Structure 1
């Protein structure tokens, strides 16, 4: 890897910890900052050659110390919950906007050459067409989507104004081991408690584009390495959508649960988007991606992890 001193914000979380695993194999010096509000230190306990700092990126004095001798930043730390952003927009702003601005501002007086930022498909709001390409209009319908979009725009503005290279990766729905919440984990957790019935939030008709966390990590590292990604935004999805009901059926099949009844709450939450499917053409072209991990393989990996670490179903 062409960068030797790496900072991963949110590095104890789901995507962040997998990224740290991959970076360790690249032999770089790694510093992780995570306040453990949603991450888990045990995600990194098997690694002994990283520096871990338990702190909040919204604290400017902390960020100034953490960034001082870094070459590249993978910025993943954020509130990643749409419902939480609706319930507490101030917390969402502090985490996603203040934290990102502090990071960008501090980079001006540091050796940082590039930032690879974890954005979100939530910036698009309800799509006007599918699949969603990078040029699709941005009209977020939640504080979370708004804060991710604003942070992304600040990053590009700092590249134009100050020359700090910035790449934004708009993640659709990443899945895999260590995912501590969201639809697949929630399904598995419910089935662990009672596998006779699976209660699905909403109608089950929502469509999502799931991408394996291993693919996400590879894309993050490729963007760090390749100059073609400087100043670019990419949609991180496979281009294949699946309804939540179809997803539930796949999970039940993987678990050999043939008699589980599906029920629906009929209501969802504010900020929920009905359909999200990525157009990955730009991503594939610029980063020379030939294929993505099949959903069946990604599901199997997460289910195996869950049963080993959380409990048998």
Structure 2
């Protein structure tokens, strides 16, 4: 949901983008390399591969990579089992960050989440301790998704401290695409519905530009 807007923005800025995913992206200016990010060898291979569009291009030599934007994940609970959410998200992020750092890529952006504060997927609704939620707010999750994001932030910090790589973890709120603004009147009529996410959202196009 967020990644395709990031890709589109980068392409519009003149960047060459290789999309690493489990299924092709519907964007003729970007090649998708089917990759399982929970397999470290596949991630190392992907990040050291040719980045162009076609296997008949004049040169297929790998090119240096300036940055990695890592938004691949199981996007919430209740899609797959809790242990799979944690395994894929935590191990996948470790593999991506490790490969990027060891391959000498100097800038990495990863997707963290507002769920780390423990409000969104709590068993019962929790009242926020204060507003606005900021980086000083305690991270206190009880679910596998948010826990994986806390682990991912620690993973990023560990590699940044070890290698001095620039790694940024964005605590992203509820991602809204343009067509979803039609839902806002319904949400305004029932404010309690979005209390769990502290009434937050980010436009997917803005998120693309943040990266």
TM bracket (short chain): 0.7 to 0.9
TM-score under structure 1 length normalisation: 0.53
Q: Deviations over 1:14-54 (max 9, x none)?
A: 11111111111111221001114xxxx4xx43x33322112
Aligned to 2:169: 168
Aligned to 2:193: 204
Structural RMSD (CA): 2.7
Q: Would the alpha carbon gap of residues 59 and 113 (structure 1) be closer, same or farther in structure 2, given more than 3 Å must change?
A: same
Cα distance in 2, alignment partners of residues 205 and 64 from structure 1: 39
Aligned to 1:214: 205
Q: Would the alpha carbon gap of residues 139 and 106 (structure 1) be closer, same or farther in structure 2, given more than 3 Å must change?
A: same
Cα distance in 2, alignment partners of residues 116 and 108 from structure 1: 12
Cα distance in 1, alignment partners of residues 40 and 203 from structure 2: 33
Aligned to 1:60: 40
The counterpart of 2:103, out of the listed 96, 103, 110, is 110
- The count of residues paired between Structure 1 and Structure 2 equals 184
Aligned to 1:5: none
Off by >6 Å, runs of 4+ in structure 1:
none
Larger radius of gyration: 1
1:16 aligns with 2:3: yes
- Helix, strand or coil at the partner of 1:169: strand
Ranges in structure 1 where 5+ consecutive residues have no aligned partner? 1-13, 189-200, 221-313
Ranges in structure 2 where 5+ consecutive residues have no aligned partner? 49-63, 120-127, 185-189
TM-score under structure 2 length normalisation: 0.77
- Matches of residues 1-313 of structure 1 in structure 2 within 5 Å? 14-36=1-23, 41=24, 44-45=25-26, 47-68=27-48, 69-84=64-79, 88-126=81-119, 127-177=128-178, 204=193, 206=195, 207-220=198-211
Q: CA deviation at 1:100?
A: 0.7
